[in-house]
Structure 1
Amino acid sequence: MKQEYDYIVVGAGSAGCAVAGRLADSKVGTVALLECGGSDFNRAITIPIGFASTVPKAGPFNYGYVTEPQPALNGRRGYQPRGRGLGGTSSINGMIYIRGVASDYDRWAAAGCEGWGWGDVLPYFKRAECNERLGGSAEDALHGGQGPLHVVDTRSTNPFDRRFLQAAECAGLRYNADFNGPEQEGVGFYQRTQRDGERWNAARAYLHRGNPQSVNGGRDNLDVLTNSQVLRVLFAGKRAVGVVVTRDGQEYTIRARREIILSGGTFGSAQLLMVSGVGPAAHLRSHGIAVVHDAPGVGQNLQEHPNVKLQQRVFSTDLYAASLRGGIRLLGEWRRYKRERFGMFASNIAETGAFFKTDPALSDPDIQLHFSTTLNDPAARRLHGYSLNVCVLRPHTRGQVLLASPDARTAPVIDQNLMADARDMDTMLAGLRVARRILDQSPLARLGATAHNHAALRFDGTDDEAARAFIRKYTDIVFHPVGTCRMGGDSASVVDPQLRVRGVEGLRVADASVMPDLIGGNTNAPSIMIGEKAADLVGGSDRPQGQALASVWTSAHGQAGTPGGATGRPVPVTTNA
């Protein structure tokens, strides 16, 4: 292990891999990427369906955090998986590629995050993306075709996904062939971060460069150090100069000649700042930590997408379950996967979904649906069924992350404060009404499914108190935590728009923790975008070449087709039907 590098990147997750890989490629100096987990060369990661084994419990690829009791959810504790090892959470997530909408980023810019509007970030999304629909061409108005992150269409043909699409159209949603296209609203298939039927995580994209035999992609200026837990950042006065690392039972000091970039994620980066002396002074002192800089915002502003599942039981071996007949079906599918890299093992179990507005007056969708071809109930693993997940996209509630110990190896205290704001409850209830209406449409209803967790509820306004009790009982999350190192133009923000930590020097944060507000969708693609942009900010490069079209989101971009002969008419979706 070398003792000094130009740049040290802490955390090999979605953003960290992008930062380290791009910095190394730009030849601006030597780079050390420190990751406390191990390698991502494992079938549980590379085979898409493998996330069903890595997400449910803590292990070598998952921290498996548990939250504080949530008062608005009957005091229940939540489960918060986070990726561990190269690729971070991009190694265990559902692989869904969603950017959000243009106004998400324009709101960031309007709130003081100069340089983070839609016209500023679109080139980075495009630079990262290799969308198979472009067939190897460089780009179109909204997508990239030659980036390191492969984005593909489904390699599964589950009939239940098509039934869901038909049911959603019957309920009034129009078909949308591209949720990252000119408009987000509608129902359709999700694109995913895969290649040739395998997961394409951030490590494969930015570190290995497609070569599983090379952790650093053959770069002589990039050292990727796994099983290396960073205990704290070292300061000389107010300047970050190095990190203390434990590896193989030994402690080491690694120094940075230029900068240190924290990419430990929404929980890890805030925790590392605090154990290093940057955070709320009184809280740090209560743990015996010397204060380098009093930064009350560190660990605050935690945001997460609340989620409720409507689960339906119906027997079909097209649906995933640990039954005898289901196992026999999967044996055949495994043989198929080995031959063709196609079918149920290539699936993320959430191939389709939707975005819609609960109020037609809204400018953007406020609800996202994920249709899952399994019950998603650990207590009913042997039962076949499907689930419709209802997600509130822009919750009003804010939580926090605090230290449980001054030792970075101890899990932090995570309090999401879910559903504490009554507006989030109202939005969830409105979303559930639409979701239930979809389930009641003929393409799904005629299969004779039985309600698994919502039998007596209609969500039609006849008993809202019972519906709210159901929400309090069953709300969980979609694993999209952001915001604990908030970026902004104000002095109370943790990092400035160049991602520099306020009050100190030589230290930046680049990951989902810097998001001032949640975006309208899954957060992996935006996290990678942040890493791409951070590399340019650190290396002093200009924005990627190409159009920065703030208006392209709403420009004409062709009309999507529809599946199975459906009309795809743009029918407004409201909660009044």
Structure 2
Amino acid sequence: MGWTLDKFIWALLVECILLSGLSHSGKASKYAFVREATSAPPFLSYDYIVIGGGTSGCPLAATLSQGARVLVLERGGSPYTNPERIHLKNFVNSLADISPSSFSQPFISTDGVLNARARVLGGGSVLNAGFYSRASSDYIRISGWNESLAEESYKWVEKKVVFEPPMLQWQSAVRDGLLEVGVLPYNEFTYDHLNGTKIGGTIFDKKGNRHTAADLLEYADPKNISVYLHATVQKILFRYNTGKRRPEAYGVIFIDAMGVMHRAYLNRKGKNEIILSAGAIGSPQLLMLSGIGSAKHLQAHGITVVLDRPWVGQDMADNPMNVLVVPSPLPVEVSLVQTVGITKSGSFIETGSGLSLGPSWSERLQKIFEFVSNQSGQPSTFSSENTQRVADLVRFLTGPTLKGGIIIEKITGPRSTGHLELITTNPSDNPSVTFNYFKDPEDLRICVEGMKTIIDVVNSKALSKFRYPNLPVQALLNLMLLIPMNLRPKHVNTAYSLQQYCIDTVLTIWHYHGGCLTGKVVDHDYKVIGVEALRVIDGSTFYRSPGTNPQATVMMLGRYMGEQIINKRFSG
């Protein structure tokens, strides 16, 4: 790929942004090993190559660096360049940013639901709502993890990035409402996944500053680690060694922000590996681009087949989220998820308040849909009439911030699954993703039960001062149907039900997983089945989303597997 003027200017801008961030952020200045990929030599050699410096990649690389030389290739930029950009108050704006330098890459699943994938050092922990909650003890046991090491790994993460939230008026009212309607017992503040109502951890400190998986690089040995930003891996390289019948990963090709190609190889000596930690979208996508996947699908895209593995990209799942906006006559704090109700029916109830949507929110949403629709070929459902109607609604609900809160339900699991397929052979392009929301009727049943719980909470005495007495819940449900939050058809003028509400207004909570499942694509040591020197360590290996929110467990897994790999490296 040659140099062009626009690529040169873009790379120069990236370098200026990075240098500005390093000079103004004490935390970033400590990371002398984090550099732009434009500064990388044409050929590199390391013991471990980690593809993706995200929620699992950062703790994994930091741990591996304690006993080996590690290279991290991250396709995005640094979260430290502008800390205000990822502050609590800018959560919505950061997630909705579609500029070339944004930390969020939007995509629309074939189900018509707007979604996003991270492209930044720290991954989804730079964009999410900050809630921190461990997986259940049953999840840990079923996953085959050593309980003692998992506990130690969670604590390792928590020392750096997790805090107890302040619990102000809105969050406290929803907590009391959950208890009032029977989501019991009250488990107070805890990281543990326990049935009932609890207060979880948060990666936002008391000043609203976000702490991310990138902070876990503070644990790294700076002499043994190199992290390159805006380094987009094109493919993993394989060879056949004499005497071995299985392909072996030995290197990667990546390009920098100028489009210049680099090659990174594994050192010849030692138990060295390439580790994919590119997330539930990126990891199966890159396996396919490298020749591992359904032979028929790969050949259709002109990709040389290294290993026919039809399970790659299969069993993709995304926990459906449904929302109810509750306008408030009283001011509420700006808060993201702190309170959670873990119900017996299998739904999780969470809440936020005072979010900085702003009066241009509807226009911003329209631009996102149009931007992604143009890339995916899906039509946008926004008309000028719809845009004006939504703008009027948003002006009613918002000023600088949302005058009220949102209460959401997410279903456990889910049981419904879909698949991922390549559209192009460009790793920067989004693949086609299908999640099949509510394909399994049990998922729909759980959603309905969750919405009933939300309605009961809204009608509870605990929340009474935060709702308009002349605005019944049915009116709030109707309001949500008027806002085109996804590209699915709405059934406003028909006899309505909570089942139809769940189907029509489904959103993502960004907890998608699958595509490289344990036992199908990777073994229980996360090694890719049928290949040497290649693992996948991230949420793409999960059958179910762990706990109420997965980031705690994804970070834990990075530390956990780093410890396992290093221990085996030196045990003979």
User: TM-score band, normalised by the shorter chain?
Assistant: 0.7 to 0.9
Describe the SS at the equivalent of 2:548: coil
Equivalent residues of 1:44, 1:51 under 8 A apart: no
Describe the SS at the equivalent of 1:274: helix
Partner of 2:171: 161
In structure 1, distance between residues paired with 2:407 and 2:569: 43
CA distance 1:390–1:504, shift in 2 (3 Å): same
Partner of 1:236: 239
Equivalent residues of 2:316, 2:514 under 8 A apart: yes
Alignment of 1:74-85 (within 5 A): 77-85=112-120
**1:186 to 2:196 alignment:** yes
**1:125 to 2:154 alignment:** yes
Partner of 1:430: 449
CA distance 1:240–1:448, shift in 2 (3 Å): closer
The aligned amino acid for 1:486 is L
CA distance 1:57–1:420, shift in 2 (3 Å): farther
Equivalent residues of 2:352, 2:405 under 8 A apart: yes
The aligned amino acid for 1:504 is V
In structure 1, distance between residues paired with 2:507 and 2:479: 20
In structure 2, distance between residues paired with 1:274 and 1:456: 42
Describe the SS at the equivalent of 1:9: strand
The aligned amino acid for 1:479 is W
In structure 2, distance between residues paired with 1:540 and 1:402: 36
Equivalent residues of 2:348, 2:548 under 8 A apart: yes
Report percent identity of matched pairs.
25
In structure 2, distance between residues paired with 1:307 and 1:196: 27
* Aligned with 1:285 (options 277, 299, 305): 299
Equivalent residues of 2:231, 2:255 under 8 A apart: yes
Equivalent residues of 2:322, 2:507 under 8 A apart: yes
In structure 2, distance between residues paired with 1:196 and 1:80: 29
Partner of 1:469: 500
Equivalent residues of 1:107, 1:117 under 8 A apart: no
CA positional deviation for 1:208: 4.2
CA distance 1:251–1:371, shift in 2 (3 Å): same
**Count of residue correspondences:** 458
Residue-by-residue CA offset, 1:47-104 (whole Å, 9 max, x unaligned): 222222111243434343323332xxxxxx1111222111111111111111121112
Equivalent residues of 1:397, 1:417 under 8 A apart: yes
**1:91 to 2:154 alignment:** no
The aligned amino acid for 2:314 is Q
CA positional deviation for 1:374: 4.1
Describe the SS at the equivalent of 1:64: strand
Partner of 1:573: none
Partner of 1:271: 285
Residue-by-residue CA offset, 1:450-477 (whole Å, 9 max, x unaligned): 34641599xxxxx996221111111112
Partner of 1:362: none
CA distance 1:188–1:479, shift in 2 (3 Å): same
Residue-by-residue CA offset, 1:168-224 (whole Å, 9 max, x unaligned): 22212332213433x61222322112345321101112x245xxxxxxx67121111
Partner of 2:544: 517
Partner of 1:402: 421
* Aligned with 1:171 (options 177, 181, 196): 181
Unaligned runs of 5+ in 2: 1-39, 241-246, 363-389, 398-402, 481-493
CA positional deviation for 1:495: 0.6
Equivalent residues of 1:398, 1:417 under 8 A apart: yes
Describe the SS at the equivalent of 1:82: strand
Equivalent residues of 2:164, 2:189 under 8 A apart: no
* Aligned with 1:226 (options 222, 229, 247): 229
Equivalent residues of 2:110, 2:433 under 8 A apart: no
In structure 2, distance between residues paired with 1:448 and 1:129: 36
Describe the SS at the equivalent of 1:86: coil
**1:480 to 2:511 alignment:** yes
Residue-by-residue CA offset, 1:490-547 (whole Å, 9 max, x unaligned): xxx111111111111111111111113222310101111111122123323599xxxx
In structure 2, distance between residues paired with 1:293 and 1:447: 58
Residue-by-residue CA offset, 1:387-407 (whole Å, 9 max, x unaligned): 110110121101111111122
CA positional deviation for 1:7: 1.1
**1:32 to 2:94 alignment:** no
**1:106 to 2:141 alignment:** yes
**RMSD, matched Cα:** 2.4
CA distance 1:477–1:405, shift in 2 (3 Å): same
Partner of 2:28: none
Equivalent residues of 2:313, 2:421 under 8 A apart: yes
Structure 1 residues 186-195 or 395-404, which shifts more? 186-195
Describe the SS at the equivalent of 2:48: strand
In structure 2, distance between residues paired with 1:395 and 1:31: 35
The aligned amino acid for 1:392 is I
Structure 1 residues 302-311 or 439-448, which shifts more? 439-448
In structure 2, distance between residues paired with 1:151 and 1:466: 40
Residue-by-residue CA offset, 1:214-248 (whole Å, 9 max, x unaligned): xxx67121111001110000111311111111012
Partner of 1:350: 337
Describe the SS at the equivalent of 1:80: strand
Partner of 1:315: 329
CA positional deviation for 1:118: 4.3
CA distance 1:514–1:447, shift in 2 (3 Å): closer
Describe the SS at the equivalent of 2:131: coil
| Greater share of helix | 2
Partner of 1:15: 56
Equivalent residues of 2:451, 2:498 under 8 A apart: no
Residue-by-residue CA offset, 1:548-573 (whole Å, 9 max, x unaligned): xxxxxxxxxxxxxxxxxxxxxxxxxx
Partner of 2:88: 48
* Aligned with 1:536 (options 563, 566, 572): 563
Unaligned runs of 5+ in 1: 71-76, 110-115, 131-148, 210-216, 320-343, 359-365, 458-462, 544-577
Residue-by-residue CA offset, 1:262-288 (whole Å, 9 max, x unaligned): 110000011000000011111111101
Equivalent residues of 1:44, 1:53 under 8 A apart: no
In structure 1, distance between residues paired with 2:195 and 2:254: 46
Residue-by-residue CA offset, 1:113-168 (whole Å, 9 max, x unaligned): xxx264553332233322xxxxxxxxxxxxxxxxxx3221114x531222212222
The aligned amino acid for 2:508 is I
Equivalent residues of 1:301, 1:398 under 8 A apart: yes
Equivalent residues of 2:67, 2:566 under 8 A apart: no
Partner of 2:244: none
Equivalent residues of 1:103, 1:118 under 8 A apart: no
Partner of 1:370: 350
The aligned amino acid for 1:372 is G
Structure 1 residues 398-407 or 169-178, which shifts more? 169-178
**1:201 to 2:212 alignment:** yes
Equivalent residues of 1:394, 1:520 under 8 A apart: no
CA distance 1:218–1:395, shift in 2 (3 Å): closer
CA positional deviation for 1:300: 0.8
* Aligned with 1:303 (options 287, 309, 317): 317
Residue-by-residue CA offset, 1:280-308 (whole Å, 9 max, x unaligned): 11111110101000111111111211111
* Aligned with 1:454 (options 453, 468, 477): 477
Describe the SS at the equivalent of 2:186: coil
Describe the SS at the equivalent of 2:427: coil
In structure 1, distance between residues paired with 2:394 and 2:553: 33
CA positional deviation for 1:430: 1.3
* Aligned with 2:264 (options 250, 254, 264): 254
* Aligned with 1:527 (options 554, 560, 571): 554
CA distance 1:177–1:419, shift in 2 (3 Å): same
**1:392 to 2:411 alignment:** yes
Equivalent residues of 1:439, 1:445 under 8 A apart: yes
Partner of 1:412: 431
